[in-house]
């Protein structure tokens, strides 16, 4: 469909098509094509054209270009992904233009306005619209103004607001020659660098040309004294889109014979907040640490509590599922039942709780776990006595349980692995062990830069352990029966509120969480910081009636340590002993399968009922040794252990031992011939002189064991394990070593007697100084010694005589023993 335009000539009328591309063909045809007046009337009846659209032969085709802003999102950096959300199809844009979205219809535009094409500028958020029009060259500027005014009025009335910006789309007439580029590392900016190819342009002129595109913050010219070329001006817009519009419209324009070349000037971004934080590290570093801690508390702590709760309640453990347990019982357990049954239907090493001797301890533990948590439960016994297997059997059917195996935790290569193992056992996840090292590194760097350590930013192993146990406390509190924890809350309130609490507690004992701390305070790690943290955790759980806490240990010294964490309360504790003689013989006979049984009962009698020793003994017999030979091997190993623990490897090692060699020799010599010793008799003997500290230290080293009465008073002393009695006998049978230790004992006792004698002599000397040397009279005037003084002198003389007699005996022993030692035993 062509728009018919009439051009008046002297003799003819010519018809032109709409498109420029066919102007020339129609001009060629106009020489021969003549329209009659009738036809002319018909044409103008169908197409009414305004007088402004009527062109003459003097009119020429003019080209123009609009820049449309706010068509696309600005791409302000490589990370900006908004431009992926919009399409830049050129054909689609042309269709929208001709449909009247951004520009009036061509029939409504003056000067034979015709759209020639579209050039998207996706990076700068706009597009170029090329157009042509016909006008007298003298009226071209006026025509462009009219066209621009009509387009801007159209956009203002329509107010097209895109989804990515609140500003409506605007159109500007391009006055220069825009530099259309696709440089990948150049992005729009709100500051323009206007370079002059010619004389400098004053600020007033620049303002006049650049202000229509948006609010300008500042315009600055290069100082005249500067020798930099080319000369330029810096224009800072308040909005980035204003700068993009100005660059695309004015670049290449001539102002007063000066060409303007415009590029974006990316300013060095200075952040006032960042600068202030960098200049005040003593404030900002602790603030950052507090922020990180807050984020951790808000996001990660609930997740960690959830995972601890899931592990405690066996939420995701398929083995705790009732359906799985039933299926296993009816299938695998039935098929494998023959492996669990022994030939004589007797108990095995793994099922120590079936012993009749253990029924009393098992019953006590079960009853304690049914009661509300009030105090610690302590299960003591030597290594290999079956403590762990007994507590595992008791709480096997319990749902809410936590096992903390201290021996596994402490067997770590470094502190990070220690924290990871503790977190894994309680279900603490996620755990960032690497952050401990990184935070310490940051703390060291901060200390080097600001001169002081950052409070709260550095993280230590102690801090990480405390975080894990705090999260465990929160999780157990959520699991515990509400009736128990609520009454504990009432107890911390006033008495009036406490009376309002329920008098009868209703709870299910199976729902009370149980925390088992196994291998607590092992002998080689008695001073580790983990013990204090676990003791504080246990005290917190018990005092708030949240969970039962069971300590399993072979160290009797934990009673004193735990008393500091939970004072003014007595503990519930059970002590497991070794297997009786008859049961030990039965275990060995069943497992050796009737091999090499000659002298078995005598060997087992000397070996005792310690299960670890019995297992070693059985393995040696199975390997082909006779019972007596196997016993001698175990005794020889025990002798080495006793010598190392009791006397040390050398003199330097002996200084670190809490008792003297003479003191242990005293206990060992008597235990070699007696099954047990009176605790008080040993304590108040001359060698110990009432001090039981060395005796307790020997017990912690497992050289001896102390049995207590029901009231907790120590009663007897026995070897640390039955095998040690045979080892003591073998050690004493060494004549030279025995003579050496007896010599040291005699010298020690002689020194005690000499000290006593010296003390008596000093007192007698003081009493003698009360006499006047000239006449032998008493210092207070009497010629006779007072009766009390006389009795005191006689008493001291009698004691002095006894001490002298003992000293002479010890001296004789020393002389005889020195001869024995000199002869080599």
Q: What are the tens digits of pLDDT across the range 91-138?
A: 888 888 888 888 888 888 888 888 888 999 888 989 999 999 988 888
What pLDDT, on a 0 to 100 scale, did the predictor assign at position 288?
81
Q: pLDDT band at 27, cuts 50/70/90? A: very low
Higher pLDDT, 297 or 478: 478
User: Is there a contact between 119 and 133 (Cβ–Cβ < 8 Å)?
Assistant: no
Which range, of 526-535, 674-683, 741-750, averages the lowest pLDDT? 526-535
Using alpha carbons, select from 152, 129, 120, 143 the residue that is nearest to residue 67.
Answer: 129
The mean pLDDT value of the chain amounts to 81
Please give the pLDDT value at position 357. 65
pLDDT of residue 216: 95
pLDDT band at 48 (very low <50, low <70, confident <90, very high): very low
Measured CA to CA, the distance from residue 439 to residue 457 in angstroms comes to 7
CA pair distance 462, 339, nearest whole angstrom: 46
Q: Any residues with CB less than 8 A from the CB of 137 and at least 6 apart, and which?
A: 60, 62
Per residue in 56-78, pLDDT (tens digit) is 555 688 889 999 998 888 888 77
As a whole number of angstroms, the distance between CA 604 and CA 593 comes to: 16
With cut-offs at 50, 70 and 90, classify the pLDDT of residue 667.
very high
- C-alpha angle 589-591-594 in degrees, rounded to nearest 5: 50
- Give the pLDDT mean for 787-792: 84
Judging by DSSP bridges, how do beta strands 60-69 and 258-264 pair with one another?
Answer: unpaired
Flag the least confident range among 238-252, 560-574, 634-648, 780-794. 780-794
Q: What is the pLDDT of residue 450?
A: 58
Which residues have a Cβ under 8 Å from the Cβ of 526 and sit 6 or more positions away? 555, 557, 700
Residue with more model confidence, 516 or 101 = 516
Q: What is the pLDDT of residue 269?
A: 61
pLDDT for 541 equals 95
**pLDDT of residue 309 exceeding 70:** yes
pLDDT at residue 39 in the model: 37
Model confidence at 525, pLDDT cuts 50, 70, 90, reads: low
In sequence order, what are the residues at sequence separation of 6 or more whose Cβ sits closer than 8 angstroms to the Cβ of residue 689? none
Which residue is it, tokens 């007033």?
Answer: 204
Task: Give mean pLDDT, residues 516-527.
Answer: 80
- Mean pLDDT value across residues 7-23: 36
Q: What is the pLDDT of residue 732?
A: 94
> In whole angstroms, what is the distance from residue 825 CA to residue 819 CA?
9
Which pLDDT belongs to residue 596?
Answer: 61
Please write the tens of the pLDDT for every residue from 449-477: 655 555 555 577 888 999 999 999 999 99
**CA–CA separation, 700 and 526 (whole Å):** 10
DSSP H stretches of helix in 383-414: 387-394, 406-410
Q: Averaging pLDDT over each range in 210-214, 444-448, 623-627, 710-714, which range is the top one? A: 210-214
Query: What burial class does residue 46 get, using C-beta atoms within 10 Å of its C-beta: 0-12 exposed, 13-18 middle, 19+ buried?
Result: exposed
Residue 230, preceding peptide bond in cis (omega within 30° of 0):
yes
Q: What is the pLDDT of residue 59?
A: 67
pTM for the complete prediction? 0.61
């Amino acid at each position: 469909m062509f728009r018919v335009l009439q051009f008046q000539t002297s003799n003819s009328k010519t018809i032109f098509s709409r498109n420029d591309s066919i102007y020339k063909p129609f001009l060629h045809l106009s020489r021969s094509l003549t329209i009659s007046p009738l036809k002319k009337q018909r044409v103008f009846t169908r197409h009414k054209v305004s007088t402004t659209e009527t062109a003459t032969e003097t009119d020429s085709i003019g080209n123009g270009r609009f820049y449309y802003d706010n068509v696309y999102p600005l791409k302000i950096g490589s990370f900006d992904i908004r431009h992926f959300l919009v399409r830049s199809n050129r054909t689609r844009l042309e269709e929208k233009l001709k449909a009247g979205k951004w520009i009036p219809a061509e029939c409504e535009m003056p000067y034979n306005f015709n759209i020639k094409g579209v050039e998207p500028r996706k990076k700068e958020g706009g597009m170029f619209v090329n157009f042509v029009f016909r006008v007298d060259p003298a009226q071209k500027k006026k025509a462009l103004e009219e066209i621009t005014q009509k387009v801007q009025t159209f956009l203002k009335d329509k107010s097209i607001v895109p989804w990515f910006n609140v500003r409506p789309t605007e159109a500007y007439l391009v006055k220069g020659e825009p530099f259309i580029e696709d440089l990948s590392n150049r992005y729009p900016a709100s500051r323009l660098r206007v370079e002059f190819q010619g004389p400098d342009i004053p600020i007033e002129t620049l303002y006049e040309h650049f202000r229509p595109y948006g609010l300008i913050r500042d315009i600055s010219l290069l100082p005249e004294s500067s020798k930099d070329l080319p000369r330029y001006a810096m224009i800072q817009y308040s909005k980035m889109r204003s700068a993009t519009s100005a660059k695309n419209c004015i670049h290449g324009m001539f102002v007063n014979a000066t060409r303007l070349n415009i590029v974006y000037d990316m300013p060095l971004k200075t952040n006032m907040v960042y600068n202030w934080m960098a200049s005040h590290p003593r404030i900002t570093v602790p603030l950052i640490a507090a922020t990180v801690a807050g984020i951790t508390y808000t996001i990660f702590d609930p997740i960690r509590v959830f995972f601890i709760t899931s592990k405690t309640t066996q939420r995701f453990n398929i083995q705790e599922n009732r359906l799985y347990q039933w299926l296993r019982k009816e299938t695998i357990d039935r098929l494998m039942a023959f492996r669990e049954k022994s030939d004589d239907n007797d108990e095995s090493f793994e099922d120590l709780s079936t012993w009749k001797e253990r029924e009393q301890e098992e019953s006590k533990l079960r009853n304690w776990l049914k009661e509300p948590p009030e105090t610690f439960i302590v299960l003591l016994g030597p290594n290999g006595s079956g403590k762990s297997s007994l507590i595992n059997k008791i709480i096997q059917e319990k749902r809410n349980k936590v096992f903390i195996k201290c021996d596994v935790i402490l067997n770590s290569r470094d502190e990070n692995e220690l924290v990871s193992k503790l977190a894994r056992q309680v279900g603490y996840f996620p755990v960032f062990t690497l952050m401990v090292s990184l935070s310490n590194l940051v703390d060291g760097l901060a200390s080097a830069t600001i001169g002081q350590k950052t409070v709260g930013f550095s993280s230590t192993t102690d801090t990480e352990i405390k975080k894990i146990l705090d999260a465990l406390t929160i999780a157990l509190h959520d699991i515990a029966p509400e009736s128990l924890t609520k009454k504990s809350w009432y107890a911390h309130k006033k008495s009036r509120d406490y009376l309002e609490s329920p008098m009868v507690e209703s709870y299910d004992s199976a729902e009370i969480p149980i925390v088992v701390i196994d291998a607590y305070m092992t002998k080689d790690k008695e001073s580790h910081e983990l013990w204090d943290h676990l003791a504080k955790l246990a005290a917190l759980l018990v005092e708030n009636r949240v969970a039962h806490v069971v300590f399993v240990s072979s160290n009797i010294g934990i009673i004193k340590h735990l008393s500091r964490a939970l004072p003014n309360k007595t503990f519930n504790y059970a002590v497991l002993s070794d297997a009786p003689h008859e049961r030990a013989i039965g275990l060995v006979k069943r497992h050796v399968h009737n091999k090499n049984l000659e002298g078995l009962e005598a060997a087992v009698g000397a070996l005792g009922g310690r299960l670890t020793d019995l297992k070693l003994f059985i393995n040696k017999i199975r390997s082909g040794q006779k019972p007596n030979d196997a016993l001698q091997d175990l005794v020889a190993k025990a002798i080495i252990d006793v010598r190392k623990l009791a006397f040390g490897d050398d003199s330097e090692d002996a200084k670190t031992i809490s008792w003297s060699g003479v003191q242990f020799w005293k206990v060992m010599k008597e235990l070699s011939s007696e099954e047990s010793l009176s605790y008080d008799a040993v304590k108040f003997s001359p060698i110990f002189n009432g001090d039981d500290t060395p005796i307790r230290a020997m017990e912690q080293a497992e050289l001896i064991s102390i049995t207590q009465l029901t009231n907790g008073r120590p009663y007897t002393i026995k070897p640390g394990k039955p095998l040690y009695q045979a080892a003591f006998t073998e050690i004493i049978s060494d004549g030279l070593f025995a003579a050496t230790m007896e010599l040291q004992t005699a010298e020690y006792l002689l020194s005690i007697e000499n000290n006593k004698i010296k003390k008596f002599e000093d007192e007698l000397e003081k009493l003698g100084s009360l006499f006047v040397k000239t006449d032998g009279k008493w210092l207070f005037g009497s010629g006779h010694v007072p009766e009390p003084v006389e009795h005191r002198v006689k008493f001291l003389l009698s004691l002095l005589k006894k001490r002298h007699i003992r000293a002479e005996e010890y001296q004789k022993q020393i002389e005889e023993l020195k001869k024995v030692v000199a002869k080599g035993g």
